[in-house]
Each structure stands twice: as structure tokens, then as C-alpha cells.
Amino acid sequence: MLAKLYDWVDERLDITPMWRDLADHEVPEHVNPAYHFSAFVYCFGGLTFFTIVIQILSGMFLTMYYVPDISRAWDSVFYLQNKVAYGQIVRGMHHWGASVTIVMVFLHTLRVFFTGAYKKPRELNWVVGVLLFFVILGLGFTGYLLPWDMKALFATKVGMQIAASVPFIGGWIQTLLQGSDIVGAQTLARFFAIHVFFLPAVLLGLLAAHFIMIRRQGISGPL
């Protein structure tokens, strides 16, 4: 059945060459763990992408139950955690996956730096990777407030104070993120929109650019 469906789609869109191009792409010997033990450090990029996919899928599930309102946010998280089938597992995956993603991005960045993979002709890809790192940090910061408990509230207040201390534009950044004089309903609504819509859109765009450049330039050589 699936083979017939694939043949039907392939006859109209000619998708087989695209899959062959991906499958036949040669991988350098130095990134094959069967030949070099140090090749495992080249897995950090793929593992990072895997954790990002987990975050996206689990986040889509969470948004079906979460209510971005200060009077109902905590209740919606409690309901998801205790009443929804497998809700505790999915929320746990999203919660711990956020920390794992940041760690994996950091390790991948270290690998790129210490192997010199940021040098010509991959400077632009290095810039994209650094931007990805900051976007993921932003996702972690904005997502921390969404449960709307005391820990999230006071942590976000500290974050707003740090943002306000930025020279020249600190006040503007604080107003943009906070939305009012206090961390309240406007802040929660803005953090939800940034976390669910704006930053994921930037993330997907940067990932696409990252993968396209890797495809064009290939995997960097050994140290």
C-alpha cells in the first residue's frame, strides 16, 4: 500500500532523485566512529537537531492544553501534569529536553571551535550557529515563565533586571519583553507569543540556512 502511494506521488513530483541525493551523500572518513574514536564529537550537531525535534513535538502537544493567562496558566499546567494521559511524561520531556538542548548546542559549538571548523569558507555558517545558540537560550528563558509559579515569576524578574542593565537600550528591551511596569499578564502573553511563534520561526529559518550551507560546503576536516 505504501509502495503504491509512494509510486503515485513520485510519478507526479519526481521525488526519488531528492532522496537519492541525500542517501548517496558521502561522509568523510574522519567522522566515522568505526575508523576514529574521536569521530563521536561530530555527533553533537545531529544530537542537537534530534533534541530540537523532540522539543518541537512535545511543545506542540503542550500548547493544546496550556492557557496563557495569569489566572489559568498554573491550573492548565496542573491539569496537563495530573489529568492528561501521558501529560507528565511529555511535559517532563519538554522540561528536561530544554536543558539537554542547551548543553548539546554548547558542546557542538565547542567542537566547531576547537576543530577550526569556523574558518574559511565556513565563517557565515559559524555566525548562523552562534545565532542559533542565542535563539535557543531565548527559548529557554521565555519558556521558564510559562508555568507561572513562584520560581518562574521571581526568576523572570531577575532576568528583567539584567535586561534593564544593558547600556543605552536596556530600558527599551525591558519594556518590549515585560509589556508593563511589572511582570504580569502582559509579560506572560508576550513570553508565550515569543516562545511559541516568533523564536521558533527564527529557529527554523536559521536551521534551514545551517543545513543548506553544510550541504554546499561539506563537513569540515579533522583538526
- What are the pLDDT digits (tens) for 46-84? 999 999 999 999 999 999 999 999 999 999 999 999 999
Q: Which domain range does residue 135 map to?
A: 2-217
Of the candidates 15, 39, 44, the one whose C-alpha atom is nearest the C-alpha of residue 27 is 39
Omega before 121 within 30 of 0, i.e. cis:
yes
pLDDT at 110: 94
Interatomic CA distance for residues 150 and 25, integer angstroms: 50
Has residue 101 been placed in a domain? yes
Residue 223 confidence (pLDDT): 65
| Regions of the chain short of the pLDDT cut 50 | none
CATH assignment of the domain containing 79? 1.20.810.10
Number of domains in the chain: 1
Distances from the Cα of 9 to the Cα of 12, 21, 147, 165, angstroms: 5, 18, 43, 56
Residue 35, pLDDT score: 65
Q: Give the three cell numbers for residue 214.
A: 553544510
In this structure, is residue 222 part of a structural domain?
A: no
Residue 85 lies in a domain: yes
**Do the domain assignments include residue 150?**
yes
**Predicted pLDDT at 122:** 94
Task: For residue 196, tell me if it sits in a domain.
Answer: yes
CA–CA separation, 156 and 153 (whole Å)? 5
Residue 223 belongs to a domain: no
Q: Is the pTM of this model over 0.95?
A: no
